[in-house]
Chain A
Amino acid sequence: MLMSKIELKTENCKGCGNCIRNCRFEALAFNNEVNAKGYRIVTVDRDKCVGCGMCYTVCPDYVFSIED
Chain B
Amino acid sequence: MAITKQIPDTIFAANSFCPGCGHGIVIRLIAEVLDEMDLSDRTIGVLAVGCSCLVNRTLAVDLMQSAHGRATAAAAGIKRTRPGNLVFTYQGDGDAISIGIAETLYSAQRDEKITQIIVNNGVFGMTGGQMSPTTLVGQRTATSEKGRNSEINGDPVNIMKLLSQFNTAYLARGSVHDAANILKTKQYIRTAFELQMRGEGFTCVEVISPCPTNWHMTPDQAVERIANEVLEVYPLGEFVKGEHQK
Q: Mark B23-57, 1 if CB is under 8 A from A, else 0.
A: 11100100000000000000000000000000000
Chain A interface residue bracket vs B: 20 to 34
Q: Please, what's the 1-or-0 string for A9-33, where 1 marks a CB less than 8 Å from any CB in chain B?
A: 1011011111001100000000000
A47 interface residue, CB < 8 Å from B? no
Is B239 among interface residues, defined by CB-CB distance under 8 A? no
Stretch of B6-14, B69-77, B134-142, B152-160 contacting A (4+ beta carbons < 8 Å) = B6-14
- Considering the complex, which residues of chain B in the window 1-25 have a beta carbon less than 8 Å from any beta carbon of chain A? 1-7, 11, 14-15, 17-25
**B182 near A50 (CB under 8 angstroms)?**
no
Asked if B145 is at the interface (CB within 8 A of a chain A CB), the reply is no
Residue of A whose beta carbon sits closest to that of B8: A62
> How far apart are A20's CB and chain B's nearest CB, in angstroms?
10
How far does the alpha carbon of A21 sit from the alpha carbon of B7 in the complex, in Å? 21
| Complex Cα gap A17–B182 (Å) | 16
Residue numbers in B under 8 Å from A51 (CB-CB): 1-3
A9 contacts across to B, CB distance below 8 A: 7, 14
Chain B residues with CB below 8 A from A62, complex form = 7, 11, 14-15, 24, 28
B22 and A60 form a contact (CB under 8 A): yes
A65-B2 contact, Cβ under 8 Å, with A11-B14, A18-B219, A60-B15 = no
Given contacts A60-B23, A61-B14, contact A54 B2 (CB under 8 A): no
What is the interface of chain B, defined by CB distance below 8 A to chain A?
A: 1-7, 11, 14-15, 17-25, 28, 178-179, 182-183, 212, 218-220, 223
> Which A residues contact B (CB, under 8 angstroms)?
2, 4-5, 9, 11-12, 14-18, 21-22, 39, 50-54, 56-62, 64-68
